[in-house]
Amino acid sequence: MILYLLKILICIPIILILIVLSLKISQGTLLKKYNDKYIKILDIVNISKNNSIIILKIGEEGCIMASSSSSMNKIKDLTKEEILRIENDIKERNFKIQDFKMERIKKKYDFSRYIGKFTKKEDK
């Protein structure tokens, strides 16, 4: 009985380590696989519950599609310049969002304004 429990206690950590390693390896290959896709979805805007507008990049060109629950229609073809402008706008928007989040975190954990209040009361 003790030998059986000892085998289980040795095998379970080994199996867990193998699972973690395989997940890390597969995640790395999946990220590389999806970053090098020929067709990319740049942006999706939901108009209603079932309707949305999708901006696609296909190679160097792109298009704007309207999607509903029953169909998809191409609205407009985009040139290389328009695609580059849209990608730059999306990158800039993401940087602004990250900056906003960082500012909120700094304000949330900025205790200097509270420390200043305590020191002023002690000085009086």
Q: Are residues 77 and 108 in the same domain?
A: yes
Q: Are residues 26 and 47 in the same domain?
A: no
- What domain range is 48 assigned to? 38-123
Q: Are residues 10 and 60 in the same domain?
A: no
Q: Are residues 57 and 108 in the same domain?
A: yes
Q: Are residues 54 and 66 in the same domain?
A: yes
Question: Who contacts 50 (Cβ-Cβ below 8 Å, separation ≥6)?
Answer: 68, 69
Residue-level pLDDT at 65? 94
Q: Are residues 63 and 82 in the same domain?
A: yes
| C-alpha to C-alpha distances, 57 to 38, 79, 101, 107, nearest whole angstrom | 8, 10, 28, 38
The reported pTM is 0.51
Q: Are residues 50 and 60 in the same domain?
A: yes
State how many domains the chain has.
Answer: 2
pLDDT in tens, 37-89: 788 888 888 898 889 999 999 888 899 999 999 999 999 999 999 999 998 99
pLDDT: is 16 or 115 the higher one?
16
CB 73 within 8 A of CB 65: yes
